[in-house]
Structure 1
Amino acid sequence: MKPLTTLSAKIILWMLMLIYLSLISGCSFTYKKAVKTTTLTDFEKSIAQKIILDIRYFCNNKQNKSEKCLKPVTHLPLSLKQMISDTNIGGIILFSENIHSLKQTIKLTRKLQQAAKNTLFIAIDQEGGRVIRLPGTLGTSFSGNMAIGATYPRHNVYYSRKVGEIIGQELDLLGINVDFAPDIDVNTNADNPVINIRSFGEDALRVARLGQAMTEGIQQHIIATLKHFPGHGNTNIDSHTGLPSIDIAREIFQKNDLLPFAQIIKNSPPGMIMSAHIQYPKLDATQLVSTQKKLIVKPATMSHTILTKLLRQQLNYNGVIITDALNMASISNHFKPVDATINTYVAGADIALMPMKIRFHSDIEKFKLFIRKVAKAYQNTPEYKKNLKESLQRISSLKAKIIKPTTLFSLNKQIKQARKFIGNNEHRLLEKQLSIDAISIIKNKPGIIPIKSNLYKRILLVAEDATQLKYFKNTLAKTFLKTQGVQLKIRLLNINDTRTDKAGKLIKNNDIIIVIYSPDFKSPVASRTTDSEKMQLTGYQIINRIKSILEFSRINQKPSLLAVMGSPYAAQTLLPLADAAVTTYNGSIFIKHNHILAPDYDALSSLLSGNIKHYGQLPISIKNTINETKHNSINIKKTQE
């Protein structure tokens, strides 16, 4: 037997070590056949320029078919980096899950651009108010469009332009170059579950002027996007959960929904316009076959009449048309991803937003095959190729205007600039002043607002959240002490407290009842919760409890004040029961380094103490009617004093 050579001995030792490691770790070594990956052609890569995907979550390996990936992408995985390079994808949209800190976000956006061979659109939904992706603890969130609409009679377009400038600047410093804002839908439907306070109001001309100012403000720094063409303000269905249809006369449509788009395109054209997943049978009644083999009226996103004839030709818009997210139920319930994407391109859209998800490594190959299928449709139809060339030219021209932070700053310099400007004192002061100038009195029985401490020394605060109660109690006490020199006696009642004896005693033993109501936002666009039924039931229960408290206050001749922190539409069913009512337009509370940021609550304290002399005007109409729904979820006992 020949002695082992040194090399042979090393090989045997290495193999023994592998066997030993596998035994102690409980693992087994298997040899896997190399997975064949798709290599895209140049033509197919040009199609990928017309797609923007989200990278909300990503997991490398899928253990079973039912597994869901909920691991947020805060740093760019190698697999996604390679996907961006291999496919030549047009852009990425970021969500709140992708944003944890300024430094981390900047690193992420820089890595995204470095992975791409062409400039990437890096987009986000940062409208302000109800829809923000940059957390209020990091950036300046503001009170939203309807708050700005409430300031218009006294301040014209001042706030709209300034808010647009600040949002644009803050996103630019993070490396984000597209904002899917402003929302210029004219909210003419009080039951609109998805637009609502995201709108500047119900007056089309006011919406046009404010929308134009915000567009100009944003585009001082990055690309703005008007949405949702041709109008989402007159729906009572959320397109995230269903397919709305607006069946109004063309004349009314042109005076309301279309007017803001027409004016802004004429005066200050935006880089992008986002289409709506809504049927407009009076504009286009042509039909498509759904996956259920049913004929349905084309949604605007898939309508050549609406996107090409109306938007391109009649309104003369030459910028980029992007769809709303194609994974929304209004589209995904009726069309397969490839069919949906092709239909939007045929209609005239330049970019398909989120036509499919990449959550696992295996999805990357599926995405390449998806691109191939879409590209094949173009190759088989010569007419499409002509439109493709024009579409790619629009995308390329818009990208040429983007100045990437990587060309201006080093990483450390960009982080330093971001920390200097994003959410700084100047921006926070404007955020606070907007809340003050926007707060609106809906109803006021003489002698209620402002609250006179000589008449109402004992105040009962009612709210559904412990943080709300604690913060507002402290803020109200400080404001009254400063303004009127009085130390108020403030008691607290949580709406969720089911001890009816306690509620009855507190109401009877105080001089005035202040009820704070923060309406639930049931749309997925503003919430990560997808169980809309659960959210709705919770909302109804809270309204019923508030009605009971207001009724009991009236029976016991205790003045009541309703403060709506959010949508003023939510006050409609409660107004007849309250002696006074006010609304802010955002009920958000952010906690930053143990410091609470709640500008709308600060504004409410100032109004009630008499520290605000001028305030906003409701930019919408609301009804003063009682909902006939039974409200017996709290039966407050008539306790003995």
Structure 2
Amino acid sequence: MAKRANKLPQKTATYFVVSTFIIALMALSAGQSQATIKNMTPNNKSSSTLLSKTLVFSKFERQIAEKMSLDIRYFCPDINGKPSVPTAKHCRQAVTELPQALAQLISTTNVGGIVLFSENVQEIAQVVKLTYDIQQAAVKSDQGQPLIISMDQEGGRVARFAKMTGFAGNMAIGASYPQHGVHFATQVNSVIAKELKALGINNNYAPVVDVNTNVDNPVINTRSFGESPQQVAELGASAVNAIQAQGVMATLKHFPGHGDTHVDSHLGLPRVDHDRASIDKIDLAPFVWAIKHAKPAMIMTAHIQYPALDDSFFVSRSGEKLIRPATMSRKILTHLLRGEMAFEGIIATDALDMAGISHFFSEVEAVVETFIAGADLAVMPFKVRTPEDVAAFNIFIKAVAKELNQRIEQGDYQLAEFEQSIARLNDYKKQYITISNDSLAQQVLTAKAIIANEQHINTEQALADAAVTLLKNNQLLPLNVSAIKRLHFVVANQQELVALTYAATNALATKLCSIELATIKISHFVADTTKATVETELLINNADIVIATVDIKTASLVDLGGMDDLTPSYGSAAQQQQKLSYGSLLKQQLTVANKLNTPVILIAKGSPFLINEYSNLADVVLLNFDDRIYQDNHQQAISPGFNASLQVIFNEGKAQGKLPVTLKN
């Protein structure tokens, strides 16, 4: 009896699957969450497999999937038929190799895109293999075409793959503009695109063309080229042209402008209260310019309320009445962007799992609303973390198709628009996405020869040299190097100490002979290993110059990719305390130097808007924006910003950069 009970007749099994699907659709139509979808899905492995194989997609449903781009940041497979984690929320197993379940999802659903994050990209050969496998799965689909593989590689603060050439970010490029024009926007983005293409990534979620007019903006900040709409427009268009010249799709973001917000859309729903004249003059100007001068393949929407552009309301899942965000606004995406601005490329949403959307809409509602608004590609609309999620995603596609079809029947949306959107996606895929004829081994060799090669690293250093900006100089520079015998460094960690010492030694070597260089003594205070004592005060007292470093930025989930399921671990008390501790220790050390009349030079990276509390304690302040420290081929810690700053300090060089934003007094 027990054996017969475990073997359902085929007809009964099919009935069970179909019934499950119908119940799930009913729940989805009522606006239930993804959790509800999963609860309606069989929990054991065999049932999930049966469900994924039994569901057959219509042409319309496959086209719905084409208009979705999923992240595969984590995936936790079943182990011996049982889930490896209690729930998808607990899954933290990074996808560095494509699991069979995800390969099958790509092949069976015709999903239109995949988004990669830092967890997915660890080594060059591994990334090339991952993107290769993704495309091999894609060409096995009914559509038989490769898909869009995207990544946020802006440079600076947002750069997902640490092995690529890093760069100092958009505000550094903005700082170079008065002297170098669009040169570095072109050079930097050309390098980034070459490296992405070598890895098999065909869409860069860059450049940011938000005009940063709000000093309290936590999410844009140094990601912006600056506060001048025309400067941002010219640099943004040059970046687009450079990226697309390398055969990679560029993405202007975040439409219609994220520059004047103080709320992070990863955590809430920002609102911009500019009048239409200001919107045209400031927020929209870079988009208008780039559409005319660069023809970007993609524009990404912002989860932001713009009452002057659309003051209509929606009722949130909690019953709250709110102004419709741009991502869900037909007035903004279709009438303004498509109509008035004549944009012909792909309209992609910002991540739909961000709180600016997910707190107010169910997953099905969010996708349907943004499609009706005019978006071509729904980015990260549904989390796939377990085999159960794969089955649930299949149901989700059908639920979206059912709801969208109903809205078409009601006259809220035209089938012709839907078909135009599919044609647009396919057209850009044909233009930018190709499968290499080279073997996988050859593709790896090619990528290794391109990623962070000497020429690209030299471009990174050239930007750092051009961007370093002198914010303050109390008649200390230029230094009389021959009079310096003792230096004292104040740094956050050992890596900074090594990179700063290397930069100082190289800069001094251009001014002093080897014998003179050997007489200079360097002492240090390293915050994560050194305690402030009487001895450290003595070192400061004996020093001719104190050189200190600080990294200043406002915390944002953008640094991690904006995933709401990472919120508890981001900005933890321990992390915040570590930052506060160094800030306090730095001020303490600089206060001691001031008391002892030892000159202080502060080398800062990050946001210029947050520097006042430190700059008041320094005689000289040099800003490097989003500098990074990397290991060269000799395992030497290198900081392009430190290199640039120390050349200014010791080699009588002039800081070339000009701050592209206005600071508070």
TM over 0.5: yes
Q: Which residue of 2 aligns with 1:14?
A: none
Residue in structure 2 matching 1:440, options 451, 462, 469: 469
Structure 1 CA distance for aligned equivalents of residues 50 and 433 of structure 2? 38
Is 1:362 equivalent to 2:388 in the alignment?
A: yes
Q: CA RMSD in A?
A: 2.0
Are residue 108 (structure 1) and residue 130 (structure 2) matched?
yes
Cα offset for 1:520? Answer: 4.4
Secondary structure in 1 matching 2:395: helix
**Residue 359 to residue 476, structure 1, CA distance change in 2 (3 Å):** same
Counterpart in the other structure of 2:38: none
Question: In 1, Cα distance between the equivalents of 2:236 and 2:229?
Answer: 10
Greater shift in the superposed pair: 383-392 or 74-83:
383-392
| 2:182 aligned with 1:157 | yes
SS at structure 1 position matched to 2:105: helix
TM-score normalised by the chain length of structure 1: 0.88
2:662 alignment partner in structure 1 = 621
Give the AA of the match of 1:452.
N
Equivalent residue letter for 2:102: L
Residue type of the alignment partner of 2:538: K
**1:325, distance to aligned residue in structure 2 (A):** 0.4
Distance 1:103 1:536 in 2: 35
CA contact (8 A) 2:209 2:232 kept: yes
- Number of the residue aligned with 2:220: 195
SS of the residue 2:236 aligns to:
helix
Distance 1:366 1:187 in 2: 40
> How do 1:206-285 residues align onto structure 2 when only pairs under 5 Å count?
206-220=231-245, 221-285=247-311
1:457 Cα deviation (Å)?
2.5
Contact between 1:182 and 1:214, CA under 8 Å: does it hold in 2? yes
CA distance in 1, matches of 2:104, 2:336: 39
Aligned to 1:86: 108
Look up the equivalent residue of 1:492 and give its one-letter code. Answer: H
Q: 1 or 2 for the larger relative contact order (CA 8 Å, sep ≥6)? A: 2
1:393 aligns with 2:423: yes
Contact preservation (8 Å) 2:500, 2:639: no
Which segment drifts farther, 412-421 or 202-211? 412-421
CA deviation digits over 1:312-334, x for unaligned, max 9? Answer: 11111111100000111111122
Query: In 1, are the aligned partners of 2:552 and 2:611 still within 8 Å (CA)?
Result: no
Distance change >3 Å, CA 379–CA 430, structure 1 → 2: same
After TM superposition, the structure 1 stretch with the greater mean CA deviation from structure 2, 492-501 or 223-232, is 492-501
Residue in structure 1 matching 2:74, options 57, 76, 87: 57
Taking the aligned partners of 1:465 and 1:498, their CA distance within structure 2 comes to 13
Determine if the alignment matches structure 1 residue 563 to structure 2 residue 595.
Answer: no
Among candidates 491, 496, 501, match of residue 523 of structure 2: 491
Given that 1:520 and 1:539 are in contact with CA atoms closer than 8 Å, whether structure 2 keeps it comes out as no
Report how far residue 533 of structure 1 moved.
5.4
Structure having the larger proportion of residues in helix: 2
Q: Out of 138-147 and 268-277, give the one that drifted further.
A: 138-147
Match in the other structure for 2:26: none
CA offset digits 1:316-370 (Å, max 9, x no partner): 1111100000111111122111111111111111111001111101100111111
Length-normalised TM-score, structure 2 = 0.85
Corresponding residue for 1:166?
A: 191
| Superposed counterparts of 1:360-509, under 5 Å | 360-382=386-408, 383=411, 384=413, 385-406=415-436, 408-446=437-475, 448-485=476-513, 486-487=516-517, 488-496=520-528, 497-509=530-542
Could you tell me whether the CA contact under 8 Å between 1:146 and 1:200 is conserved in 2?
Answer: yes
8 Å Cα contact 1:74/1:100 also seen in 2: yes
CA distance in structure 2 between the partners assigned to 1:180 and 1:213 by the alignment: 15
| More deviation, 150-159/518-527 | 518-527
Please list the CA deviations of residues 447-474 of structure 1 after superposition, one character each: whole Å capped at 9, or x if unmatched. x223322444222111111110122123
Given that residues 152 and 159 in structure 2 are in contact (C-alpha distance below 8 angstroms), is that contact kept between their aligned partners in structure 1? yes
Deviations 1:273-308 (A, max 9, x none): 000011112222211111111011111111111111
User: Is the deviation greater in 368-377 or in 409-418?
Assistant: 409-418
Q: Partner amino acid for 1:388?
A: F
The alpha-carbon deviation at position 224 of structure 1 amounts to: 0.4
**Partner of 2:400: helix, strand, or coil?**
helix
1:592 and 1:80 mapped to 2: Cα distance? 35
How do 1:506-525 residues align onto structure 2 when only pairs under 5 Å count? 506-520=539-553, 522-525=555-558
Pair member with larger Rg = 1
User: What is the count of residue pairs matched by the alignment?
Assistant: 591
1:507 is displaced (CA, Å) by: 2.3
In the alignment, is the contact (CA less than 8 A) between 2:648 and 2:655 conserved in 1?
Answer: no
Relative to structure 1, the CA distance from residue 523 to residue 31 in structure 2 (aligned partners, 3 Å threshold; closer, same or farther) is: closer
Q: Is the 8 A contact 2:153 2:160 kept in 1?
A: yes
Which of 120, 142, 151 is equivalent to 1:98?
Answer: 120
Q: Distance in 2 between matches of 1:132 and 1:31?
A: 37
Unaligned runs of 5+ in 1: 1-29, 625-641
Identity of counterpart residues, as a percentage?
39
Give 2:189's aligned amino acid.
G
- Secondary structure, in 3 states, of the residue corresponding to 1:462? strand
| Unmatched segments (≥5 aa) in structure 2 | 1-43, 139-143
| Shift of residue 54, structure 1, vs aligned partner | 0.7
Q: Is the 8 A contact 2:226 2:660 kept in 1?
A: yes
How far apart, in 2, do the equivalents of 1:84 and 1:501 lie? Answer: 63
Amino acid at match of 2:218: P
Q: Note if contact 1:175-1:404 (Cα within 8 Å) is conserved in structure 2.
A: no
Q: Which of 343, 365, 370 is the matching residue for 1:344?
A: 370
Deviation at residue 52 of structure 1 after TM alignment: 0.1
The answer to whether the 8 Å contact 2:491/2:548 transfers is: yes
Cα deviation for residue 565 of structure 1 reads 1.8
Opposite residue 493 of structure 1, the aligned amino acid is F
Counterpart of 2:416 in structure 1: which amino acid? K
Question: Which AA in structure 2 matches 1:185?
Answer: D
Deviations 1:220-277 (A, max 9, x none): 1210000000111111121112211111222222211111001111111100000001
Q: Which of 307, 320, 323 pairs up with 1:297?
A: 323
Distance 2:494 2:151 in 1: 32
Q: Map Cα deviations across residues 428-456 of structure 1 (whole Å, 9 max, x no partner).
A: 1111111111111001111x223322444
Letter in structure 2 aligned against 1:409: D
Aligned equivalent of 1:43, options 60, 64, 70:
60
CA distance in 1 between counterparts of 2:584 and 2:274 reads 34
**Aligned in 2, Cα 1:533/1:251: closer, same or farther, shift over 3 Å?**
farther
2:502 is matched by which residue type in structure 1? N
Provide the residue aligned with 2:160 in structure 1: 133
CA distance in 2, matches of 1:300, 1:450: 50
Question: 1:599-614, aligned counterparts within 5 Å?
Answer: 599-610=640-651, 612-613=653-654
Measured after TM superposition, the shift of residue 544 of structure 1 is 3.2
Q: Is 1:307–2:302 an aligned residue pair?
A: no
Provide closer, same or farther for how the CA distance between residues 546 and 320 of structure 1 changes in structure 2, counting only shifts above 3 A.
Answer: same
Contact kept in structure 1, 2:491 and 2:526, CA below 8 Å? yes
Preserved CA contact (<8 Å) 1:184 1:199: yes
Moved more, 242-251 or 272-281: 242-251
